Amino acid sequence: MDWWRKIYVALKNADVRQIVYVPDAGHAELIDACIEDNDIISIPLTTEEEGVAVLAGAWLGGQRGALLMQSSGVGNCINMFGLMQTCRFPLAAFVTMRGQWQEFNPWQMPMGQGTELALSAMNVNVETADNPKDIFEKSAAVLHSAFVANQMTALLLHQRLMPKKTFGN
């Protein structure tokens, strides 16, 4: 099974009903699978911080949701993570990494290298997966941490998992 499908199965097992995302090449297949799923509302965002707030609203209304984004989006979320912490809203985020491994674009480096520190600074628990064999188990653990233990948790998906990206050079 492709690694992204393991995340999808974990989301389904956890009864996740809202997926908020900024389109990302690493998450493209997972996003497509969610869009095709009639039991999941798929919500494209203009910026990732909107997604954090949407998940707070979903939880107020009794639904579970998850945030799919690239590492650059983590920086956009910083202040909105404060909403989740102050109100003890659950947060489950799946972050595809850039600026980490075989990266061709220097503009991706700063936020990629700061992603884990930024999450930790806002008290978001961080798990990392770089082996497809671990992804189902780690995804399930992140979702459990969020919805059963009311924590904020992110799974960082190592850039090794993605095809090497270029702009043709």
Partner 1 sequence: MNLSSRARTYDLRRREVAKRISEVGGKKLLVVTGLGSTNWDFTAAGDRDLIFPMWGAMGGAVSVGLGLALAQPKNRVLVATGDGEMLMGLGSLATVAVQAPSNLTIIVFDNERYGETGMQLSATADEADIAAIATGCGIKSAVNINNDKELKKSLPKLFKIPGPSLWVIKVRAESLDFVLPPKDGAFLKDRFRRALLGDVGIL
Residues that bind partner 1 (CB under 8 A): 17-18, 20, 41, 43-47, 49-63, 65, 79-80, 82-83, 86-89
Residue 3 or 21: the one with the smaller Cβ distance to partner 1 is 21
Residue 167 neighbours by CB distance under 10 Å = 6
CB of 89 to partner 1, least distance (A): 6
Contact, 63 vs 92, CB < 8 A? no
Residue 24 or 49: the one with the smaller Cβ distance to partner 1 is 49
Residue 6 or 64: the one with the smaller Cβ distance to partner 1 is 64
Pairing, β 91-96 against β 41-44: unpaired
Alpha-carbon distance of 138 to 144, in angstroms, equals 10
Give SS3 for 82.
Answer: helix
CB of 17 to partner 1, least distance (A): 7
Q: Which two tokens stand for residue 150?
A: 């009311």
CB of 54 to partner 1, least distance (A): 4
CB of 58 to partner 1, least distance (A): 4
Alpha-carbon distance of 153 to 168, in angstroms, equals 35
In the block, which residue shows the tokens 């809203």? 89
Residue 33 or 56: the one with the smaller Cβ distance to partner 1 is 56
